[in-house]
Amino acid sequence: MPVILKLYIRLVDGFNRRVGRFVMYGIFVMMAILLWSSFSKTFMTPSMWTLEMAQFAMVTYYILGGPYSVQMGSNVRMDLFYGEWTLRQRAMVDAMTVFFLIFYLAILIHGAVGSSAYALGHFGVEPYSFYRDLVWAFLTGGKEAANEVLGYIERSPTAWRPVLWPIKLIMLLGFILMLLQAVSELLKDIARIRGVDY
Amino acid sequence: MSYEMIAILMFSTMMLMLMTGQRVFGAIGFVGVLAAVFLWGTGGSDIGFSAAMKLMKWYPLLTLPMFIFMGYVLSESKIADDLYKMFHVWMGPVRGGLAIGTILLMVLISAMNGLSVAGMAIGATIALPELLKRGYDKRMVTGVIQAGSSLGILVPPSVVLVLYAMIARQPVGQLWLAGVFPGLMMAAMFILYVVIRCRIQPELGPALPEADRDISREEKMKLLRAGLLPIVIFATMMVPFVNGWTSLVESSAIGAITAFVAAVVKGRMTREVFENSVRSTLGISCMFMWIILAALGFGAVFDGLGAVKAIDDLFTEQLGLDPWMILILMQLSFILMGTFLDDTAMLVIVAPLYVPLVKVLGFDLIWYGVLYTITTQIAYMTPPFGYNLFLMRAMAPSEVTLKDIYRSIVPFVAVMILALTLVMIFPQIALWLPNYVYGK
Q: What is the pLDDT of chain A when averaged over all its residues?
A: 89
CA distance B178 to B364: 12
Domain assignments of chain A as residue spans, ordered by start: 3-194
CA distance A89 to B115: 33
Which A residues, 126 through 165, put their C-beta within 8 Å of a C-beta on chain B?
none
SS3 percent helix, strand, coil of chain B, rounded to 5, is 80, 0, 20
Mean per-residue pLDDT for A119-136?
84
Mean per-residue pLDDT for A20-31?
95
| Residue A108: predicted pLDDT | 94
pLDDT above 90 coverage of chain B, percent: 16
Q: Which residues pair with B23 in a beta bridge?
A: A77
Is the distance from CB of B392 to CB of B147 less than 8 angstroms?
Answer: no
| Residue B384: predicted pLDDT | 61
Mean per-residue pLDDT for A7-15?
95
Among B325-329, B332-336, B421-425, the range with the most confident prediction by mean pLDDT is: B421-425
Per-residue pLDDT tens over the stretch B20-71: 888 888 988 999 999 999 888 877 788 889 889 988 888 888 888 898 888 8
Q: What is the pLDDT of chain B when averaged over all its residues?
A: 83
| Residue B398: predicted pLDDT | 74
Res. B95 pLDDT band, cuts 50 70 90: confident
Tell me the shortest Cα–Cα distance from B166 to chain A, in angstroms: 15
Is the distance from CB of B207 to CB of B101 less than 8 angstroms?
Answer: no
Q: Do the chains contact at B49 and A112, CB–CB below 8 Å? A: yes
Out of B22, B25, B344, the one facing A98 most closely (by C-beta) is B22
Name residue B268's amino acid: R
Res. B234 pLDDT band, cuts 50 70 90: confident
Q: Is the pLDDT of residue A169 over 70?
A: yes
Mean per-residue pLDDT for B376-386?
74
Which B residues, 313 through 352, put their C-beta within 8 Å of a C-beta on chain A?
340-342, 344-345
Q: Higher-confidence residue: B194 or B306?
A: B194
CA distance A66 to B294: 13
| Residue A21: predicted pLDDT | 95
Minimum Cα–Cα distance from A52: chain B residue: B57
Per-residue pLDDT tens over the stretch B137-164: 888 888 898 888 888 888 888 888 888 8
Domain assignments of chain B as residue spans, ordered by start: 60-438
Per-residue pLDDT tens over the stretch B117-131: 677 777 877 888 888
Q: Which of A71-75, B170-174, B399-403 has the lowest mean pLDDT?
A: B399-403
Name residue A59's amino acid: V
| Residue B212: predicted pLDDT | 65
Does A82 contact B at CB distance below 8 Å?
Answer: yes
Q: Do the chains contact at B246 and A100, CB–CB below 8 Å? A: no
Q: What angle, 0 to 180 degrees and rounded to 10, lies between the N-to-C axes of helices B365-381 and B323-340? A: 30
Is the distance from CB of B70 to CB of B112 less than 8 angstroms?
Answer: yes
Does A78 contact B at CB distance below 8 Å?
Answer: yes
Q: Do the chains contact at A104 and B287, CB–CB below 8 Å? A: no
| Residue B439: predicted pLDDT | 73
